[in-house]
Amino acid sequence: MGLLDGRVAVITGASKGIGRALAVRFGKEGARVICTARSADLVKQTVALVQKAGGQAIDVVGDLAKEADVQRMVAAGVQAFGKIDTLVNNAGDGGPTKKVEEYTMEDWRYTIDSCLTSSYLCIRFVVPEMRKAGNGAIVNISSMAGRRGLPYRIGYCSSKAGQVGMTYGMALELAPDIRVNCVAPGAVEGDRIDSVIEGQARVRGISVEQVRKSMTDSAPLKRFVTADDIVDATVFFCSDMSRSVSGQVLAVNAGTPAG
């Protein structure tokens, strides 16, 4: 038996990285998975990996900052699997690394929409299906940047802080049938953190190696975390192991104080 047997889960941002790892693990744990992202080719690859691992999945391509695309995703999931009772809001773009005086309205809108607006819209349109199912679990994948801040990334920090606030508010509003929790990763090893490090090095005028070392040195465990670390925490929040847990933010960040 899997920890998520019988669940039907939406995984947003399922085209690569944490989202892909989430989709594959959820499939292995017995969930039927609705994989959604903007990249058709990449999300189809994720579905193939879920199926190869023995799980069931469908792909739905769309921009989750658009109401119509979210509604279409929900309808496709219900048509394929009969219900939706689990949502993981993982979609989002890190946005640019810039000084605040250089951060444009286009930068701001894009980053807020990709991270925060998409989470709001998915909750808005998935909750009615969870109510029909009689229960639900929502996990917002935020970031430590939304709790401690990160220089030169005003849009990203703001959007991720918004996800934390959304978690607290929705946990109160949607109880007792729907639980809402949040995972706040620290620096996760992979392509995205490499891009962040390069941006920080450029703006701060120091080397990539110096930025990476400062980030690992500031973590008590002296390392970055992995996508699997984030997946483990998310599976916990979506499973019956956390049936009495809601409105919580779990920092998975190699021990750095949450702030």
152 and 220 in a single domain? The answer is: no
- 164 and 125 co-located in one domain: yes
Alpha carbon 180 to chain centroid distance?
13
**Residue for token pair 């990249």:** 39
Kindly state the helix (H) or strand (E) to which residue 10 belongs, with its residue range: strand 8-12
Q: Is residue 201 located within the same domain as residue 77?
A: no
State mean pLDDT over 122-151: 96
Mean pLDDT of all residues belonging to the chain: 95
Q: Is residue 55 part of a domain?
A: yes
Q: Is position 52 within any domain? A: yes
Rounded CA-CA distance 123/40 in Å is 23
Q: Are residues 114 and 144 in the same domain?
A: yes
Average pLDDT estimate for 1-20: 97
Model confidence pLDDT, tens digit, residues 82-98: 999 999 999 999 899 99
Could you give the percent of the chain with pLDDT greater than 70?
A: 100
pLDDT at res. 84? 98
Query: Does 200 lie in the same domain as 175?
Result: no
Shared-domain flag, residues 72 and 137: yes
pLDDT at 230: 98
Question: Is the pLDDT confidence value at 213 over 80?
Answer: yes
Alpha-carbon gap, residue 193 to 199, rounded angstroms? 10
Return the higher-pLDDT residue of 192 and 107.
107
Tell me whether residue 1 is in a domain. no
Do 100 and 217 reside in the same domain of the chain? no
Radius of gyration of the chain (CA): 18
Compute how many other C-beta atoms are within 10 angstroms of the C-beta atom of residue 160.
28
> Which strands make up the sheet holding 249-252, listed edge to edge?
56-61, 32-37, 8-12, 86-89, 136-141, 178-185, 249-252
Name which of 124, 48, 50, 42 is nearest 87 in CA terms. 124
- What mean pLDDT do residues 107-114 have? 97
- The answer to whether residues 48 and 164 belong to one domain is yes
pLDDT score for 191: 84
pLDDT (0 to 100) of residue 121:
98
Same domain, 220 and 132: no
- Asked whether the whole model's pTM tops 0.75, one would answer yes
Q: Containing H/E element for 158?
A: helix 154-174
Give domain status of residue 200, yes or no: yes
Per-residue pLDDT at 122 exceeds 90: yes
Same domain, 167 and 237: yes
Which are the contacts of 15, defined by CB distance < 8 A and separation ≥ 6? Answer: 37, 38, 39, 42, 43, 45, 46
Look at residue 72 and tell me if it is in a domain.
yes
- Residue 252 and residue 86: Cα distance in Å, rounded? 21
Q: In this structure, is residue 83 part of a structural domain?
A: yes
**For residues 162-184, average pLDDT:** 98
User: How far lies 245's CA from each of 8, 16, 237, in Å?
Assistant: 20, 28, 8
Q: What is the CATH number of the domain that holds 122?
A: 3.40.50.720
**Percent of the chain with pLDDT strictly greater than 90:** 87
Return the bridge partners of 181, or none: 139
| 151 occurs within a structural domain | yes
Query: How many independent structural domains does the chain possess?
Result: 2
For 43-61, the pLDDT digits (tens) are 999 999 999 999 999 999 9
Task: Write the single-letter amino acid at 170.
Answer: M
- Asked whether residue 167 falls in the same domain as residue 211, the answer is no
What confidence score (pLDDT) does residue 259 get?
Answer: 58
Higher pLDDT, 190 or 81: 81
Q: Write out the catalytic residue numbers.
A: 156
What are 26-49's pLDDT values in tens digits? 999 999 999 999 999 999 999 999
pLDDT of residue 71: 98
Q: Are residues 73 and 149 in the same domain?
A: yes
Q: Which domain holds residue 31?
A: 8-186+226-252
Is the backbone of residue 92 left (phi > 0), alpha (psi -120 to 50) or beta?
A: left
Q: What is the mean pLDDT of residues 143-151?
A: 91
Identify the residue whose tokens are 């579905």.
47
Q: Is residue 259 part of a domain?
A: no
